[in-house]
Amino acid sequence: MPRSPAPSRLSGLAAAWLLAVPMAAAGLGPAAAQEPEFYDVPYAYEQWIYGRRLDESQLRYCVDRRDPDWEVAGAIADAIAQALLLEPQRHVVETEIVVEDITRVYGVMLEHCDVHMGFKLIPEGYGDWAALTRAYYETGYVFVTTNPDLKSLADLAPGRPIGATGGTSAHIRLMAYLLAQSPDRRWPVYPMGTNDLALDSLLRGTVAVALVWAPSLWARQRADPALAALREIDPRPLPPTRMGVGALILANETFLRAAIDEAIGALAADGTIAGILDGYHFPAKAAP
């Protein structure tokens, strides 16, 4: 018996795939968790028990206490409800689970809310079941250090590690930059599971710089004044990674989305959102 039959179907397929690359990208959905569970449409347990709600005088919105901006987002949602002449109905998601797949939001929304605050406007970042409102504020990812000698990322010596919150837009931008550099000019990048873990690795000295979501840094410092020494540095030679943050709604709620977009526009224009952000000293600007 031959010990290793040579792969037999590679050559034909190699030619064929060139033809297939432009094929339709149908079914583009949210990526799966580590254990493969692949959805074209998210599924919520006992989703059939949630019928059409009857009280249209309320704006039912969710904020998640695990989100660093949940209080700010709640204040903005209240303002949106007021602008729409609706009664705000806040549901605070309370759980201690650290990280969850985006598809879990589907079940939360079926049960509790029409609008879930606190999602980044990422092109192609959501499945067909979800839609984002316009952004109500803009913020970004920041490079953070405890080293007083570092003024910008450019001051970091090659070979010194960066702890990046893994898989984020800023992480991807950083990796794209590094891959364009020669190996001797690169910083090692250690992917960290969460913003908090990236900050912890910085505090432990595992990394020289952490790349984290600015609201997460704000929330951490707000909760622990001893972390005031954590200092944001200029991202150069990289450009800043700034992103709009809006609310997630179910894709079929087109009328609601249009109404909320209009309300956000009005609240941005009259300075309401900027006032809320300033009130919390929150590291964001009202979206234009």
Partner 1 sequence: MSRIQKVSLLAVIAASSVSLLAVQAAMAQDSPIDKVSTVTDDMLLNPPDGDWLMWRRTYDGWGYSPLDQINKGNVGQLQLAWSWAMTPGGRTQETPLVHDGIIYIQNSTHLIQALDGATGDLIWEYQYSLPDGVPPNGERSKAIYGDTLIVATRDAHIIALDTKTGKLVWDQQVADVKKGWGYSSGPIVANGVIIQGMTSCGNAQPGGCFYTGHDAKTGAELWRLYTIARGDTPEGNSWNGIPLESRHGGSAWITGSYDPDQNLVFAGVGQPYPWPAVLNGLLPKSADPNVTNDALYTNSTLAIDPTTGDLKWYHQYLATDTLDLDYVYERLLIDLPVDGQDTRTVVTTGKLGIIEAVDRTSGEWLWAKETVPQNVVASIDPETGVKTINPEVIPEIGKSTFNCPADPGGRAWQATAYSPRTQALYLPTVEFCSNTTVQPLDPGTIYTGGGRATFARVPVPDSDGNIGQVRAVRLTDLSDMWMYRQHAPVTSSTLPTAGGVVFVGTLDRHFLALDDETGAVLWTSPRLTNSLESFPVTYTANGKQYVAVVANWASGLGRLASLTPDVKLPPNNPAALYVFALPD
- Of residues 43 through 82, those in contact with partner 1 by CB under 8 A are 43, 45-49, 64, 66-69
Distance CA 78, CA 99 (A): 26
Hey, which residues between 201 and 220 contact partner 1 (CB under 8 A)? 201, 206, 213, 215-216
CB-based contact 248:131 (threshold 8 Å): yes
Which residues make beta-bridge pairs with 189? 162
Q: In whole angstroms, how close is the CB of 225 to partner 1 at the nearest point?
A: 22
Nearby residues of 130 by Cβ (< 8 Å), 6 or more positions away: 102, 105, 106, 248, 249, 250, 251
The nearer residue to partner 1, 126 or 272, going by C-beta atoms, is 126
Distance CA 185, CA 157 (A): 8
Hey, which residues between 107 and 136 contact partner 1 (CB under 8 A)? 107, 118-120, 122, 124-126
The nearer residue to partner 1, 72 or 83, going by C-beta atoms, is 72
The nearer residue to partner 1, 145 or 216, going by C-beta atoms, is 216
Nearby residues of 131 by Cβ (< 8 Å), 6 or more positions away: 248, 249, 250, 251, 253, 254, 257
Give the total of residues touching partner 1 (CB under 8 A). Answer: 95
Q: In whole angstroms, how close is the CB of 221 to partner 1 at the nearest point?
A: 15
Q: In whole angstroms, how close is the CB of 271 to partner 1 at the nearest point?
A: 26
Q: In whole angstroms, how close is the CB of 252 to partner 1 at the nearest point?
A: 15
Hey, which residues between 159 and 198 contact partner 1 (CB under 8 A)? 163, 165-169, 171-172, 175-176, 178-179, 183-184, 186, 188-195, 197
Question: Which stretch, 76-84, 92-100, 220-228, 261-269, contacts partner 1 (CB under 8 A)?
Answer: 92-100
Q: In whole angstroms, how close is the CB of 114 to partner 1 at the nearest point?
A: 17
CB-based contact 152:235 (threshold 8 Å): yes
Beta pairing, strands 58-64 & 87-93? parallel
Q: In whole angstroms, how close is the CB of 54 to partner 1 at the nearest point?
A: 12
Hey, which residues between 20 and 39 contact partner 1 (CB under 8 A)? 20-21, 23-39
Q: Which phi and psi angles does 229 have, rounded to 5°?
A: -70, -15
The verdict on 85 binding partner 1 (CB under 8 A) reads no
Q: Candidates 84, 102, 259, 274: give the one binding partner 1 (CB under 8 A).
A: 102
Find the helix or strand (DSSP H, E) in which 202 lies. helix 195-204
Distance CA 174, CA 162 (A): 10
Radius of gyration (C-alpha) of the chain in whole angstroms = 22
Beta pairing, strands 162-165 & 209-213? parallel
